[in-house]
Amino acid sequence: MSEVQAPRVGWKTLAPILVVHLCGTLGFSIALPILVFLVADLGGAAWTYGVLGATYSAAQAIGAPLLGRWSDHTGRKVVLAVSQGGTVVAWLLFLVALVVPRQPLGDFAGTTVTVPLLLVFLARFIDGLTGGNISVANAYVADITRDAKKERQRAFGRMGMAASVGFMAGPALAGLLATDHDPYRWPVVAAMVIALVGVFLCLRLKDPGGRCPEGPPPPRAITRALSQQQVPCDKSQEKGSLRSALRIPDVRLALIVSFVMFLGFNIFYAAFPVHATGRIGWNPGKMGVFYSTMSAAMLFMQGPLLSTVSSHARAKTVFALGLAGLALSFVAFSGASSVAAFAGAGLFALGNGLAWPTFQAQAASLVPEPDQGSLQGALSSAGSLASIVGLCLGGLLYPWLGGQVFLASSVLFVLVFLAVTRLYRRES
């Protein structure tokens, strides 16, 4: 059947995996408004929250390629269900941490080590390890669009929309469930119930056929170690490699840009919750409103606004505008008021909505089709490394620099702005 005659992959076909993906992001994002408060209550210092985030990212970097390759041999449905089950276990450990006596075990760099705090770290590691199932979900989408490859971009775009909705609804739900008397229990219970629903939905999925009978080709070392992308089986005959991709002009620059952008993002993600609770004085409800507002704004920026701006301006200009918005957002975050924080959220949504999709499209245009898998795997690896480094840096630097730490993120995006001309030098 020709590509033109291939059946359209519509909402009905994608709905099961979209709902599974929505449940995953929804359950994850519920923790965002409460986690910094929980870590502090269990004895953690400001830097502890950043290291906790890095623990999740490191575990996800390990789990993603393992789950992806396992799914090529045993089927997407089984691996998705098992990984969702791991998330249920992680939330169960959270519940245990809430009731275990907070007896101090010792002190380290301002952190009082307690059994509940160690359980939270273990829970985040398990959740990150199984949360790498995004690689399996993406492989599932690649499978069901095998005979309609022109639908893949639209399908992955809808996966992104599902994630944005989850990140918008999760913090709002946490804000509604958190109470002054017990701000943690019911959000955690809700996250566990959502994960259980996810297990049931995974078991209801129709496992797509056409997997590689002997698994996909062995990945390159850097991809095997850190990549969160699973190359579709229909790419198995292509001869692309990371080495050949790196020989192409500007690919190395794209990898550096990806690392620097993720580094800036994750310094913010580690430091802002501590800043919002300590300097601005927010409670879990206000944190939930903040994250939901920012996610809703990003959904609009990534959709209607990006489409409109891209139709009237060159990609180079759109990317530059997005970077400017991001740089200004971190300047706003350095303030110590709710007004400054929400202004920063609007600028962050604007900048991220314009800059990141535009950069992804440009990076993909730098290599031929046989090298796409290797390039995207390397970009994911760069992002994983930057997430780990940025989360640790954000948590460690905030106690010394306070709100000024966000200016470091602003400087990073200014540096990326200086690379715009080089990255888009071939744009007509």
Q: Please compute the mean of the pLDDT values over residues 328-357 and round it to a whole number.
A: 93
Residue 112: Cβ within 10 Å count: 16
Residue 141: Cβ within 10 Å count: 23
Q: Please compute the mean of the pLDDT values over residues 64-73 and round it to a whole number.
A: 73
Q: Please compute the mean of the pLDDT values over residues 167-196 and round it to a whole number.
A: 86
Which string of b and e fits 25-61 if b means at least 16 CB within 10 Å? Answer: bbbbbbbbbbbbbbbbbbbbbbbbbbbbbbbbbbbbb
Q: Please compute the mean of the pLDDT values over residues 12-38 and round it to a whole number.
A: 82
Of all helices (H) and strands (E), which one includes residue 194? helix 185-204
- Take residue 89 and report the two structure tokens written for it: 């276990």
The region of weakest confidence among 112-116, 225-229, 268-272, 392-396 is: 225-229
Q: Is the pLDDT of residue 312 over 80?
A: yes
- Take residue 391 and report the two structure tokens written for it: 């989360």
In terms of Cβ atoms closer than 10 Å to its own Cβ (0-12, 13-18, 19+), residue 209 is exposed
Which of left, alpha, beta for 292 (phi over 0: left; psi -120 to 50: alpha)? Answer: alpha
- Quick check: helix, strand or coil at residue 79? helix
C-alpha span between 14 and 21 (Å, rounded) = 11
The listed CATH number (3.40.190.10, 3.30.930.10, 1.20.1250.20, 3.30.465.10) that belongs to domain 224-230+239-428: 1.20.1250.20
- The pTM of this model reads 0.74
Inter-residue contact 166 to 29 (CB < 8 Å): yes
Output the pLDDT for position 31.
Answer: 83
Output the pLDDT for position 229.
Answer: 44
Residues 6 or more apart in contact with residue 198 via CB below 8 angstroms: 20, 23, 24, 27, 84, 87
Q: Please compute the mean of the pLDDT values over residues 264-284 and round it to a whole number.
A: 91
Q: Please compute the mean of the pLDDT values over residues 195-199 and round it to a whole number.
A: 88
Of all helices (H) and strands (E), which one includes residue 172? helix 152-177
Output the pLDDT for position 33.
Answer: 84
Higher pLDDT pick, 107 / 67: 107
Higher pLDDT pick, 160 / 314: 314
Inter-residue contact 253 to 423 (CB < 8 Å): yes
Output the pLDDT for position 345.
Answer: 95
Q: Is the pLDDT of residue 284 over 50?
A: yes
Residue 182: Cβ within 10 Å count: 11
Dump pLDDT digits (tens) for 368-412.
655 555 666 677 778 888 888 998 899 889 988 999 999 999 999
C-alpha span between 37 and 56 (Å, rounded) = 17
Q: Please compute the mean of the pLDDT values over residues 308-313 and round it to a whole number.
A: 85
Integer-rounded Cα radius of gyration of the chain: 21
Give the torsion through C-alpha atoms of 74, 80, 84, 89, to 10 deg.
Answer: 10
Q: What percent of the chain has pLDDT over 70?
A: 79
The listed CATH number (3.90.700.10, 1.20.1250.20, 3.50.50.60, 3.40.50.1860) that belongs to domain 11-216: 1.20.1250.20
Query: Are 11-216 and 224-230+239-428 the same fold in CATH?
Result: yes
- Take residue 150 and report the two structure tokens written for it: 């022109």
Residues 6 or more apart in contact with residue 94 via CB below 8 angstroms: 119, 120, 123, 188, 191, 192
Q: Is the pLDDT of residue 278 over 70?
A: yes
pLDDT band at 216 (very low <50, low <70, confident <90, very high): very low
C-alpha span between 121 and 112 (Å, rounded) = 14
Q: Give φ, ψ of 49 to 5 degrees.
A: -65, -40
Higher pLDDT pick, 242 / 202: 202
Output the pLDDT for position 385.
Answer: 86
Domain segments of the chain as ranges? 11-216, 224-230+239-428
